[in-house]
Amino acid sequence: MLDFITSVAREAGAVLRSGFRGDRQLNYKNRTELVTDMDLASERLIVSRIAEHFPEHQIVTEEGGGRDQRSRWVWVIDPLDGTNNYAHGVPFYCVSIALLVDDQLELGVVYDPTHDECFTATAGDKAQVNGQPLRISAINDLRHGYLTTGYAYDRWSGEPNNLPETTAMMLECQSLRCMGSAALDLCYVAAGRSDGYWELHLSPWDGAAGALIVQQAGGKVTNVGGGAFSPWQPDLLASNGLLHASILQVLARSGTEQR
C-alpha cells in the first residue's frame, strides 16, 4: 500500500515539476484563492490511480474530483499544496496524500518534487524521508525556536485570521516564517528543520498526511487549544513536543483561548 501510494505521489509530483514556471491557466475560486490547471491535472492522475486499485474506497480531494461513496477507507488528497508558490514560480510546493481507516490516520505521503524528497509514515512505524528515518529537533527554549505558520485565503473576512497570534509569537521565538505549504511545514517539523508549526484554518487535505508524519517522527500534534487533533477540524499545532506547552501559552495569550 505504502509503495503504491508513494509511486503515485512521485508520479503526480513529476507532472507538477514538468509544468513548473510554464505558461499557467490561473483561475480564482474566490477573491484570493488560486487554482491552476496543474492542480487539476495532478488531482486527476492521483484519483484515477487510486480508483483503479481500490474501487471501493472513498476519495476526498481539494478540487472536488474525488469519489463520494461511504467506505471505511478514506483517501484525503491535496494534489498541489502550495499553489500560490507554484503559480508565482516559487519552488516550495508538494503533493499530499493521507489514508484514514475507520477515521484513524493510517498512512501519509508528502512528496516535494523540487528537492525530490518523499516523506512517508504509517501508523505504528517510524516516519521516513526517502527511506531514511526522520528525527524531530531538540530545541527546548522558545527563544531559540524556528517556527512556521500560515493564513487562510479568506482572512480579510474576520477572525480568526491568525494576525494577533503572529504578532505575539514574533516577539517570543527566534524565527517565524510563512512558507506557503502546510504539508511541507509539517514535514519540516518531522525532519527537525523547524521546531513548530500552527495554523487556524486548514482543510483536511492540508494537514492529514503531514500530521501523521510528525507523530511518527516523535513530534506532537494537537489542536491550538491543546486538545486532540483531528484532520476534520481546522486548527492544528505541531511541534517537537519540547516546545508544545510554550507555544500553546503564547497562542492562548494572544486570543486563541477565546475560541
State the residues that interact with Ca ion by CB under 5 A.
62, 78, 80-81, 206
Task: Give whole-number Cα distances, 162 to 43, 75, 127, 141, in Å.
Answer: 29, 28, 29, 22
Shortest Cβ distance from residue 134 to ligand IPD (Å)? 20
When CB distances are held under 5 to 8 angstroms depending on the partner's kind, the choice from ligand IPD, Ca ion, none that residue 118 binds is: none
C-alpha distances in Å from residue 131, one per residue of 120, 121, 126:
8, 10, 10
Give CA–CA dist 181/208, Å, rounded. 13
Smallest separation, CB 86 to ligand IPD (Å): 8
Which CB atom, from 96 or from 254, has the smaller least distance to ligand IPD? 96
Per CB under 6 A, the list member of 5, 9, 46, 78 interacting with ligand IPD is 78
Q: And the C-alpha cell for 142?
A: 522558545
Nearer to ligand IPD, 69 or 175 (CB): 175
At 8, is the secondary structure helix, strand, or coil? Answer: helix
Nearer of residues 197 and 217 to ligand IPD, judged by Cβ:
197
Coil vs helix vs strand at 237: strand
- Residue with Cβ nearer Ca ion (81 or 235): 81
Quick check: 104 and 231 in contact, CB under 8 A? no
Query: How far is Cα 16 from Cα 210, in angstroms, rounded to an integer?
Result: 19
Residue 206 binds ligand IPD (CB under 6 A): yes
Query: What's the burial of 189, exposed, middle or buried (CB within 10 Å: 0-12/13-18/19+)?
Result: buried
Q: How far is the CB of 70 from ligand IPD (least distance, A)?
A: 25
**Shortest CB 39 distance to Ca ion, Å:** 6
Select from Ca ion, ligand IPD, none the partner in contact with residue 152, using the beta carbon and a kind-dependent cut-off of 5 to 8 Å.
ligand IPD
Q: How far is CA 149 from CA 13, 168, 199, 238, 247, in A?
A: 23, 13, 6, 10, 12
Per-position x/- string for 15-54, each x denoting binding to ligand IPD as judged by CB under 6 A, each - no binding: ----------------------------------------
Closest contact distance (angstroms) between CB of 38 and ligand IPD is: 12
Binding site for ligand IPD (CB under 6 A): 78, 81-84, 150-152, 180-182, 199, 202, 206
